[in-house]
Chains A and B, each alone.
Chain A
Amino acid sequence: MSSSAITVQPTRSVFAASRSALGALVKRDLLVLRKHAGEFAARTIMQPLLLVFVFLYVFPSIGQGIGGGSGHAGESDFATVLVPGVVAITIMFQGIQSVAIQLSQEFGYTREIEDRVQAPCPLWLVAVARVLSGATQGLISAVLVFPIAAVVHAPGVEAHLSVHWWVVVTLIPLACLAMTSLGLVLGTTFEPRNIGLMFGFVVLPLVFLGGTYYQWTKLSAIQVGGFPWLQTLVLVNPLIYIAEGMRAGLTDASHMHLYVVYPVLIGFCVLFLSLGLRNFRRRVLS
């Protein structure tokens, strides 16, 4: 047993206790990640791999390549659009997977959260720890997926990639934080039995209207009475800023201005984090 006697008085300051608790929470999540590394990699890679395989290999090979009207050049243009989009949805799915689904289960089913919230740190830090380790997983998955998305394609079809490093190293972490914060909101909102609902009504619309398969700048062509309604509507979707940001970071294709992308993503981060922390507190305390 430890040699220290039982004391009624706390021996450490709140700050010191919180710092070590945060470290332990993140360390625990990363250990679990390492234990399930294979599963994590398979889960992360599967969807992007299928996407690029079907769109960039199968379609061009059977003559129904997107953009194929102008031959391999058009198909390559589509690949250039798709690769950054694939990285963007990978980051988003990681946020959902590592935070939303986990938290929803811990609240609703395993009750593991009951013990974690007794950690000697403020409640919000327990949630922030989960967001941070989720964001780390997002980073790893982005790094895993990019080479696959860049390499898998039919002969003659090639994404024109040119990496703008300063955008990549700043935007990917920001995107990961925004998406794990979104995961925090979803995980504290949806019960485990409603996860299907969450996918149907939140995740799918975000993905299909999130600029994964097309450039936001091109949406101006869809108009009603001269008003680009779809281009305006999708602005509420955080994924559009990530997809456009990735386009700016990984290609020379046209994209939304970065001075819009960064502040809006930071705004989403703050919004999701404050909503998520408020929900978390409400779920824990009664």
Chain B
Amino acid sequence: MAAVGERDGEVIRTAGLSKVYPKADVPAVDGLDLAVHQGELFGLLGPNGAGKTTTVGMLTTRVVPTAGTAWIGGIDVVARPTLVKQVIAVVSQQNTLDRSLTVRENLYFHGLLFGVPPRQARRTADALLERFHLAKWADASVFALSGGMAQRLMVARAIYHRPAVLFLDEPTAGLDPQSRLALWEILGELIADGQTILLTTHNMEEADQLCDRVAILDHGRVLALDTPAALKQGVGADTVVTVQAAGDPAALAELLGREIAGVTQSRLTGAGVELQVKGGGANRLLPRVLSAAEAGGFEVADLSVAEASLETVFISLTGKELRD
């Protein structure tokens, strides 16, 4: 077992990993090179169809790559899927809990599945139920769980066998805000325990808040890969100003780009203009934008300012919004 990259604490490594589905003319994932380190929370951020789920599928033995290689803890995922499955865990987008079993039995049988002796399997199941605030529901059918609780149970089940990597595919999609926060808290605790996590999301706030490093994906390729702070810094702009005004937006964009100092990029958003501005935090940016627009004959209907986010990064990389 050649321990590829293990010396520098790499848990996941991919080299030129690609997937072209039969009958598709464009690759779903195109030459992916990633390295995820032990104890890291790594995010794959991108719109639907960017190749996030396919990437997770290849790393979790479910999707067979058409080219390239992936290793988990130095084990070739394609050549030795059975061995890899011992050290990974997956929480998928759908609810995959066993409907015929109770909440506790879902955990207990997962333990047996991974070779834990029955007595210890029961103990660990109970400990996890406590830890994930599900003890009250231990003997209930999984049908009785709300979406957020079912998600928690799936995470509890996934970490049951102490996986080297926990894969979470769009974990908060479809969760209410409260359950989302609860899950973020749980992931924070897992990371504090040294758990390596790879998650996919199309929620930039989630990626920004949670992830140590983020790879921005579009059309199966990595457009940028760094810490959220460095990615935002890399855009060059720290502030985003949105202006809505009657009149020709293109002319407004042109005017503001000329008049306002520090504009790095401007973009039309239907009814208005979005400006990325460097050093916009100071210097009374909003009054300056307002007077420049009015002086140019535009009647400003709405004006807003926000800090640069990963959304800004995505827009500056692709020219389109993440939520499209």
Contact across chains for A12 and B98 when beta carbons are under 8 A apart = no
A276 to B11, CA, bound (A): 35
B95 in the interface, Cβ–Cβ < 8 Å?
yes
Contact across chains for B115 and A12 when beta carbons are under 8 A apart = yes
> Nearest Cβ distance between residue B276 and chain A, in whole angstroms?
39
Within 8 A of B (CB), among A1-45: 1-2, 4-12, 14, 16-18, 20-21, 23-25, 27-28, 31-32, 35
Q: Which residues of A contact B157 (CB under 8 A)?
A: 115
Contact across chains for B113 and A8 when beta carbons are under 8 A apart = no
B164 in the interface, Cβ–Cβ < 8 Å?
yes
A8, A20, A110, A112: which contacts B87 (Cβ < 8 A)?
Answer: A8
**Closest Cβ neighbor of B164 among chain A residues:** A8
With A1-B131, A9-B73, A32-B100 as known contacts, state yes or no: A122 contacts B82, CB within 8 Å.
Answer: yes
Contact across chains for A114 and B73 when beta carbons are under 8 A apart = no
Contact across chains for B112 and A24 when beta carbons are under 8 A apart = yes
Contact across chains for B109 and A28 when beta carbons are under 8 A apart = yes
Contact across chains for B87 and A17 when beta carbons are under 8 A apart = no
A111 to B91, CA, bound (A): 12
> Nearest Cβ distance between residue A1 and chain B, in whole angstroms?
6
Can you name 18 A-B residue pairings with CB atoms under 8 Å?
A2-B162, A6-B196, A7-B87, A8-B74, A9-B1, A10-B86, A12-B86, A16-B115, A21-B114, A24-B112, A31-B109, A32-B100, A111-B96, A114-B90, A114-B94, A121-B85, A285-B63, A286-B62
Q: Which residues of B contact A117 (CB under 8 A)?
A: 62
A6, A27, A284: which contacts B112 (Cβ < 8 A)?
Answer: A27
With A4-B162, A27-B109, A28-B98 as known contacts, state yes or no: A21 contacts B127, CB within 8 Å.
Answer: no
A119 in the interface, Cβ–Cβ < 8 Å?
yes
Contact across chains for A286 and B21 when beta carbons are under 8 A apart = yes
Chain A residues within 8 Å of B, Cβ to Cβ: 1-2, 4-12, 14, 16-18, 20-21, 23-25, 27-28, 31-32, 35, 110-115, 117-122, 284-286
Q: Which residues of A contact B38 (CB under 8 A)?
A: 8
Q: Which residues of A contact B105 (CB under 8 A)?
A: 31
Contact across chains for A111 and B94 when beta carbons are under 8 A apart = yes
A110 to B92, CA, bound (A): 13
Chain B residues within 8 Å of A, Cβ to Cβ: 1, 6, 11, 21, 38, 57, 60-64, 72-75, 82-90, 92, 94-101, 105, 109, 112-116, 120, 124, 127-128, 131, 157, 162-164, 194-196
> Nearest Cβ distance between residue A37 and chain B, in whole angstroms?
13
Q: Which residues of B contact A10 (CB under 8 A)?
A: 75, 83-84, 86-87
Q: Which residues of A contact B89 (CB under 8 A)?
A: 118
> Nearest Cβ distance between residue A43 and chain B, in whole angstroms?
15
A9 to B84, CA, bound (A): 9
B6, B92, B109: which contacts A8 (Cβ < 8 A)?
Answer: B6
Contact across chains for B64 and A6 when beta carbons are under 8 A apart = no
- Known pairs A8-B38, A111-B95; list 15 more (Cβ under 8 Å): A1-B131, A6-B162, A9-B74, A12-B115, A14-B82, A14-B83, A21-B115, A31-B109, A32-B100, A112-B98, A114-B92, A115-B96, A118-B89, A120-B83, A284-B62
Q: Which residues of B contact A9 (CB under 8 A)?
A: 1, 73-74, 87
A115 to B109, CA, bound (A): 12
A114 to B162, CA, bound (A): 19
Contact across chains for B113 and A119 when beta carbons are under 8 A apart = yes
With A10-B83, A20-B115, A120-B114 as known contacts, state yes or no: A286 contacts B96, CB within 8 Å.
Answer: no
**Closest Cβ neighbor of A4 among chain B residues:** B162
> Nearest Cβ distance between residue A285 and chain B, in whole angstroms?
6
A100 to B120, CA, bound (A): 34
A1 to B127, CA, bound (A): 6
> Nearest Cβ distance between residue A124 and chain B, in whole angstroms?
10
With A8-B87, A14-B82, A24-B112 as known contacts, state yes or no: A285 contacts B96, CB within 8 Å.
Answer: no
A2, A120, A284: which contacts B85 (Cβ < 8 A)?
Answer: A120
A122 to B81, CA, bound (A): 8
> Nearest Cβ distance between residue A115 and chain B, in whole angstroms?
4
Q: Which residues of B contact A118 (CB under 8 A)?
A: 60-61, 85, 88-90
Among A18, A24, A114, A122, residue most surrounded by chain B Cβ atoms (within 10 Å): A24
Among A12, A111, A118, A120, residue most surrounded by chain B Cβ atoms (within 10 Å): A118
Among A10, A17, A285, residue most surrounded by chain B Cβ atoms (within 10 Å): A10
Contact across chains for B99 and A110 when beta carbons are under 8 A apart = yes
With A11-B86, A120-B86, A286-B63 as known contacts, state yes or no: A2 contacts B120, CB within 8 Å.
Answer: yes
Q: Which residues of B contact A286 (CB under 8 A)?
A: 21, 57, 62-64
> Nearest Cβ distance between residue A31 and chain B, in whole angstroms?
7
A8 to B162, CA, bound (A): 10
> Nearest Cβ distance between residue B37 and chain A, in whole angstroms?
11
With A20-B112, A28-B98, A286-B21 as known contacts, state yes or no: A8 contacts B73, CB within 8 Å.
Answer: yes
Q: Which residues of A contact B95 (CB under 8 A)?
A: 111
With A6-B194, A27-B109, A31-B105 as known contacts, state yes or no: A17 contacts B62, CB within 8 Å.
Answer: no
A32 to B100, CA, bound (A): 6
> Nearest Cβ distance between residue A143 and chain B, in whole angstroms?
23
Q: Which residues of B contact A119 (CB under 8 A)?
A: 85, 113-114
> Nearest Cβ distance between residue B45 and chain A, in whole angstroms?
23
Q: Which residues of A contact B127 (CB under 8 A)?
A: 1
Q: Which residues of A contact B11 (CB under 8 A)?
A: 8
**Closest Cβ neighbor of B114 among chain A residues:** A120
A228 to B285, CA, bound (A): 95
